Amino acid sequence: MKSRLNILNIYTIKCNNIDMSTEISFDEDKYKIKSRVVLGKPQVPFMIRFLVNKKIVKNEKTAVILMIVLFLISIVGSFLFLSKSFSVPPAIIDPIIIY
C-alpha cells in the first residue's frame, strides 16, 4: 500500500510541474486531404471536391465527416435489410389438412 502512495505522489508532483501557459498552434494547410500526387500537385478526392463545390458542406473536414456518417448509415441499413431477408416466418398449418 505504501508503494502505491509513493507512485501516486510522484505522479502528482510531475503533473504539477507542467507549464500551462504555452500555446499550441496547428498548421492546417499541411493536413489537407490528398489522395494522390499528379505531376507534383496534390489531388483532392472527387467526392470531397464535389461536396465542397456544390456547397453541400463548407470544407473538406465536414465532407469527410458526412461521408463517414453516410457509410455508417448504409452499413446499418444493409444489416437490417439482410437480417429481415434471412428471417423465416413461422409456418401456419390449417387444422383441416391434418384430419
Span 42-90, pLDDT tens digits: 788 889 999 999 999 999 889 999 999 999 999 999 999 998 888 887 8
- Round to whole Å and give the CA distance between 28 and 44: 15
- Mean pLDDT along residues 20-49: 69
Which of the residue ranges 3-7, 33-37, 38-42, 76-80 would you say has the lowest mean pLDDT?
Answer: 3-7
- Determine the angle formed by the axes of helices 46-53 and 60-86, rounding to 10 degrees: 110
Domain ranges of the chain: 32-87
Q: How many CB atoms neighbour CB 89 within 10 A?
A: 5
- Round to whole Å and give the CA distance between 43 and 38: 7
Span 85-96, pLDDT tens digits: 888 878 888 777
